[in-house]
Amino acid sequence: MSILIDKKIKVLVQGLTGKEGLFHTEQMMNYGTSVVGGITPGKGGKVYLGIPVFDTVEEAVQNTGGDVSVIFVPSPFAADAILESIFSNIKLIVCITEGIPVSDMIKVKHFLKTLRGKTCLIGPNCPGIISPEESKVGIMPNSIFRKKGKIGIISRSGTLTYEAADQIVKHGYGISTAIGIGGDSVVGISIKEIIELFLEDEETECIVMIGEIGGILEIEAAEWIKKLKRKKPIISFIAGQTAPKGKTMGHAGAIIEKKIETAKVKMDIMEKSGIRIVKSPENIGMAVHEVFH
């Protein structure tokens, strides 16, 4: 099994007709993802890459049965694009867009909470989700994720997601599902929620979690894991271990505001929760190998 996506999903691309939308839609299709429609206001009725384009998400859903959306919309309009998918009953939304104002994302989070889990949002500012040999929604490079397997990956960093997958595959293992949740201070699905899905997935036997300085997503997950009776091996790397307080490290959410958000404190809490910490991303593959030997 995989989590959140499989071969049966029908993907809609919001912002299909833009440069990024066209490029990554073609990559998704080449990977085997079923892309059934695009949305660009004012371009309804046209066809790109053999895919019909609609003016609204609602219209696209009615005509194609699309149940997953991926968003390549510029940041000033991205929150509205997310809300449009929410109100069109899209079950999974993947927002690639970076630079969305925090105030916009707070509104989006409010609407997601009122729906109580009917819609799941991955991102924004994320690479998306991929389940090898099944489907891909987002911008993850096809070539790296070539092997299906039993390792689940959760990451706040896009590039480190790829690094972890590459290390794992080089050691002879495959990926069940890899999810980049995004590096912003306000994101949709949390690390804890994804771990919960991986724990329920019979195929996933080991979890790799890549975190960063800033925020408390990793801490919330670790404290929740500590209380569990049924666990799976979890390996984690925290990026930004040398970052000073008050300095942003690449992502909008990767800034230390409190002592608890430093790499050291996070790693200490996680280790006490039974999570294995690696000090360098190049050690992830070997740590996975040691779990099974």
Indicate the residue type of 269. Answer: I
Question: Which letter does DSSP use for residue 248 in this model?
Answer: B
Is 293 catalytic? The answer is: no
- Quick check: helix, strand or coil at residue 11? strand
* Residues 6+ away with beta carbon under 8 Å from 63: 37, 52, 54
φ/ψ of 151, rounded to 5, equals -110, 125
CB 9 within 8 A of CB 34: yes
What is the rounded CA–CA span in Å between residue 99 and residue 253? 11
Q: Which is the catalytic residue, given 24, 110, 251, 289?
A: 251
- Quick check: helix, strand or coil at residue 126? coil
What is the rounded CA–CA span in Å between residue 23 and residue 34? 15
Q: Which residues are catalytic?
A: 251
